A and B are shown apart, each in its own frame.
Chain A
Amino acid sequence: MKKFFLIIAVALSFASANVLAQNNNGGDVRYIKSPRFARPLIEKWIEEYAKTEPGVTFQIAKGASADAALNVVVDGQSDEANTVYFGKTAVLPITARGSEADRLLGGKHLSSRKLKQVFFVSDEEEDERPSKQFESLVVYSGSNATSAANAFARNLGEEASSFRGKRIAGDDLFLNTAIAKDAYGVSFNTLSNIFDLNSRRVKKELSLVGLDVKRDVADDFGNEGSLDNVLAALESGRVGGIAVERVGIAYENGDVAVLKFLQWVLTQGTQFNHAFGLLNPDNAEDGARQLTAQK
């Protein structure tokens, strides 16, 4: 009996130690911290990079790890000197498909002004008084530093602090969950959180809020549009007024393995951007040159 307890104790001790060990940045493992919209892409990179550099292991950091060597950030979240931008993400407004909010906004093509009315506290006064048309809608926005809330607000000339409605804490992916629970919920998200990366269509539980875009691309920005068409339209510059932010990786200078990985990302890794819902960067070559200089 006593031996049994001893075995259990030792086993549990090992198990817990293993769990905690993830936070230790020891050996040749480099952890990458990323919001979920970019995680599938990062995982793809890790897989592909491992084929060319088997000696160094990169892993996605899980939990609230502060020891990640690399951090996926959106524009303005980190020191520019130690950040390389590998792509861009677009942010679109959404509702839960079939919800009351979807019905209210269905068939509408909202201009920037209307979007501001729906999502933000009136500029005229601080008391939260949305325009009557959208009074019943409940806006859900993220409150994490990596949330697309900042990009969405900035694009409309607003601040993230000015969102109406409710805040959630957690990855933006949970915005989809939040609006699914509220018939009047309306939110926004990045393309990779909105589209099914396999079918390339809008996730069946979500509905895109119609935007005031040119007629020739209007269908692409509807529920029947495809991710690839949206990406193509955005990259071609045919669509304006959509929140698009650069996505990059912040790193600490001095780790050659990290710099080498980032150089690979900028030269090889970006070919997977579209597959995982990200736009290509404007100047990946500049970033690669920056890294070469630092090595």
Chain B
Amino acid sequence: MEKKLFVLLVAAVSPLLAIAQNIITGRVVEQGINEPLIGATVLVKNEKGKGVVTDIDGNFSLPTKQEAPLTIVVQFVGYRSQEIDVYDFEEPVEIQLVDNSSRLDEIVVVGYGTQKRTQLTGSVTTVKADIFEKISVPTLDGALSGQVAGLNVTASSGQPGADSQIRIRGGNSVNASNEPLYVIDGFIYFKDAANATTGIGGLGSSLNPLSTVNPNDIESIEVLKDVSATAIYGSRGANGVIIVTTKKGRKEAGASSINYSYGLGVSTVSKKLDLLNASEWAQFQKTYFSNKGGYTDAEIAALGEGTDWQDAVLRTAVQQTHELSVSGGSEKSRYAFSANYTDQDGIVLNTNFQRYNFHTNVDWELRKNFNFGINATFGRSRQDVLTTLDGLQSASSTSPFSAGITNSFVYALLMPPVISVYNADGSYNFKNPYEYAYFAIGDHMANPVYDLEESVAENINNYLLSNVWTTYKVGPVTLKATVGLSSEKLTQNLFAGAYTSLGMATEGIGGNGNRQTDIWQQEYTATFDKDLNANNHLDALVGYTYQHTESTYSIILTNHFTNESLKQYNLGDGANIYTPETGISESRLHSIIGRLNYSLLNRYNLTATFRADRSSRFSAGHEWGQFPSLGLSWNVDKESFFANVQRIDYLKVRASVGLVGNQEIPDAAYLGTYSTGSYAGSSSYSSGNASNDNLNWESTLNYNVGFDLGLLHNRVNIVADAYYKKTYDLLFVVPLGISSTVSRQLQNVGNVVNKGFELSIDGSIIKRRSVRWTAAANIAHNLNELTDMGSSKDLIYGDDNQQILSKGEPVGTFYGLEFDGIVQSNEDVTQLPKVNGNVPSPGDVKYVDHNGDGKIDGYDRTFLGSTQPKLTYGLSTQFTWRNFDASVAFAGSVGNRVYNALGRRLEQTGDSYNVLSTVLGSWTAENGGNRLPLASTTRPFSHIDSRYVQDASYLKLRNVSVGYRVPLPKDGFIRGLKVSISAANVLTFTNYKGYDPEVASGTDDGVYPASRSVSFGVNVSL
């Protein structure tokens, strides 16, 4: 009975108990923009309990047993915490937190962990995700240009989906890769060029390996430049490391967020070459050549512009993107999911890049201190590119793609403008009486528009990149195990019919290549992280990692087609079958890693790193490499003697030394290799690389000193570094003597030195509540020099023998004759050196006789500059005024040169092809002229000359964007709506004469031209 009474009593007083609990309600927003802050903690000061977190709208409801007045504390990472005295509970509280994030408070992602920026000893630059809101690019490398001092991005071509060449502090190697290492959410991802193609050849571009990462999934990018930061990656750290961290959800209940964005843009070629029109070309033919067309002057005048073949193969291209992302979490878990669709037409006919990408990042707290997570990216990229002869297996030597004509786009530039694209009945015109050499079989000549429209050259990559991890925390020790897989299936399809340039010689050619590359990665680490006492912080890491790579490929190629309707899907129609190719390559890398970070008084910091790698790419006895490093930093501003220094808020000096390696050579390159083929109806083997049992690691000894400086209340931040890198035991392909059965061998020969400095400045120029203006600038100088080549002599290479490896010169040095003008009518030709045994005539080209032997030949060639820029720089600025924002980004380089092979080809006069309008200024007896010789069918001198090794310094206005955030009701269904417009590749200032000064290879033989684009975007958040 008493129990019943007790229950009754409780029931009776329960309404009173309920009202005895006061409830503080309110909303937390970010000051200035009034955006709700999701997950801010609100608690009653001095009251036990966990407090509450704000929901998706920033609202909170905090019960308390205390009576007013009381004090609540509002906290949120990155914001200044706020205390508010609460005097009554009647009205909701509106709380505005001030963004307190400072670059110096940053936590920086480093290899296998994170570190406070103030305790870093290495040179690490962080690029935040907001860059991808301003610069709309399908791959992350496109946005990095000009953003990081010492990181030089050079687009390989304007082809959508093509990769870029990235160099961090110059290139260390000659024959091994110079690309940095990528670490994507912990998965080590190397841009292995060998895995980007099946080996089928004939395709003008390969897919950018980074196209598997959707830039909008990225939270931050850390660029690790010096050895203190990169040594933890040991044999793969020599070229620098780029760590990509993708977005995660938030571990708070109800913190879900939905975001959709759409972008639509158009692209046009950023520069057109000035070619002769029909009248000019016909007149030129009549003046200098045989006037094959038999035009009278009146007919020539009537020809007018004729066919602009450049316009005929170029177009205004449309691109669009859809992006949906959902993220959120609960107290014990968080998730982020995104789906992306990109469809980007190229500005050359029938070229395109298309991608479907799905990404997810999920983790759970399964038990206390026990976490489990998965991140995975799955997708499909497809790229339609130009066909080319380059690399095409067993290609016929009679194929038209030779003599400096690399693809159908280049051929279009050469087409006589008096030839039409189409016949009167709308069919393709295959008649071209001027073509008699390369692009003609019988009475049928190639038509580049048909080539581009009807040929197939496609790269299709289905990929999965996934990582599964678990951590268990025991006191200050965190144990972590990670297993990951990168699986890519690359398919390359090729088809060029009998009427196309590529297929003409073989009555059509078609093929299919497949490559399956699987990389398994396992990592097991233990981290000890603890403040030992008020003055000492220790963070130690030990671990073991293993990576296994297996790549298999197959190629089938046939020609002589009788039915082209199914193209590459009916290769059996090809009567002639090339020797099929299949293969496998495999590599293993076992590693032991260790790192010690120690900080004393948050003032003196030390990082000691060690990694030992065992790579299957080297022979027994040479498999192990040890890579140690030591980094020190000193936060000078925390010293007592610095207390009276008013103008400097932050000063840290850094120094590091260490050794890193490069193992990025083909698998089993130390072994002798043979390739299969067919000979007289039987299979055959031909020898390739000679074995080298002593092949060892390429190692880079690296020194770095630098400082970080904060001025004007840290509104101006300066980072400066100077470095010296010496790469020795270069992995060098050495030609062997003719007595050897093989032509080359990979050896450890010679040294390359890179030394330079970097300077970055960023500042907050205006930081008012409604107006913000920030700017950042960086500049880097790098001096590259091949300081030793062992016993090797100078090595000349390139299709036109245009480059040389020579001791004392940078890698990528051009080598050729020095142009000395045109022989004029009144010149004493007897004083001039002879060319090909002949005394030059007026109108001939003159070269400098460097060896003074009275004749011009290969011994007069000299160094003509190199592909290495002396300076690279970037400048960006962002401006925000109320709901508007704008950003501008520039990037540039100084001192690099490009061999303009296309320009050389287009200034070669003859009676078949069109030429640049500069040819109208060729030397004549009447008008003179001092750059181009008298027009004739004489082929240019076999050696290149300095006219075509051109200064490719440039300043590019990379991006301009303007956005407007539409004001919305606070509690509406739509939480954010932003519209934006951006333009990419807006302006280029350069003296380079070709399409674009950015040519990754350094030789512009008609690479896909760069485009300029304008895009409109809309972003909706729910």
Contact = CB atoms under 8 A, between A and B. Distances in A.
Contacts of A17: 15
A218 to B, nearest CB: 33
A161 B436 CA distance: 78
Interface stretch (A167-175, A246-254, A280-288): A167-175
Nearest to A150: B94
B87 A168 contact: yes
A143 interface: yes
Contacts of A6: 5, 8
A125 B34 CA distance: 18
A8 B713 CA distance: 66
Contacts of A144: 91-94
B443 interface: no
Interface stretch (B78-86, B277-285, B382-390): B78-86
A169 B8 contact: no
Given A5-B5, A144-B91, A16 B767 contact: no
A169 B713 contact: no
B424 interface: no
A178 B96 CA distance: 20
Interface in A157-171: 159, 161-162, 166-171
A64 B23 contact: yes
B281 to A, nearest CB: 64
B26 interface: yes
Nearest to B19: A19
B91 A166 contact: no
Contacts, number: 120
Nearest to A10: B12
B88 A171 contact: yes
Given A125-B767, A169-B24, A143 B95 contact: yes
Contact of A167 (B8, B88, B95): B95
A170 B91 contact: yes
Contacts of A162: 31, 769
A59 B593 CA distance: 74
Nearest to A123: B768
B1 interface: yes
A130 to B, nearest CB: 15
Contacts of A177: 69, 87
Interface string A169-198: 111001001100000000000000000000
A63 B90 contact: yes
Contacts of B534: none
B94 A20 contact: no
A29 interface: no
A20 B26 CA distance: 22
A121 interface: yes
Interface in B10-28: 11-13, 15-16, 19, 23-26
Contact of A161 (B90, B93, B96): B96
A183 B111 CA distance: 53
A126 B767 contact: yes
A295 B31 CA distance: 42
Contact of A124 (B25, B34, B88, B768): B768
B40 to A, nearest CB: 14
B669 to A, nearest CB: 57
Interface residues of A, number: 37
B23 A166 contact: no
Interface in A116-169: 121, 123-127, 143-146, 159, 161-162, 166-169
Nearest to A125: B767
Contact of B91 (A13, A64, A127): A64
Contact of B87 (A9, A127, A146, A169): A169
Most buried by A among B24, B72, B96: B96
A174 B768 contact: no
Contacts of A167: 82, 84-85, 95
Contacts of A50: none
Contacts of A166: 83-85
Contacts of B85: 166-170, 174, 178
Contacts of B92: 144-145
A10 B15 CA distance: 12
Given A64-B89, A169-B84, A170-B88, A9 B8 contact: yes
B9 interface: yes
B68 interface: yes
B32 interface: yes
B8 A16 contact: no
A144 B32 CA distance: 17
Contacts of A256: none
A169 B9 contact: no
A12 B12 CA distance: 6
B98 interface: yes
Contacts of A104: none
B16 A2 contact: no
Interface in A1-60: 2, 5-6, 8-10, 12-13, 15-17, 19-20
Interface of B: 1-2, 5, 8-9, 11-13, 15-16, 19, 23-26, 31-32, 34, 68-69, 72, 82-96, 98, 713, 715, 767-769
Interface of A: 2, 5-6, 8-10, 12-13, 15-17, 19-20, 63-64, 121, 123-127, 143-146, 159, 161-162, 166-171, 174, 177-178
List 8 tightest A-B contacts by C-beta distance, closest first.
A170-B87, A174-B87, A16-B15, A9-B12, A144-B91, A169-B93, A13-B12, A170-B88
Given A162-B31, A170-B87, 7 more contacts: A9-B8, A16-B15, A166-B83, A168-B87, A169-B91, A169-B93, A174-B69
8 contacts: A2-B2, A64-B23, A125-B713, A125-B768, A126-B767, A162-B31, A167-B82, A170-B88
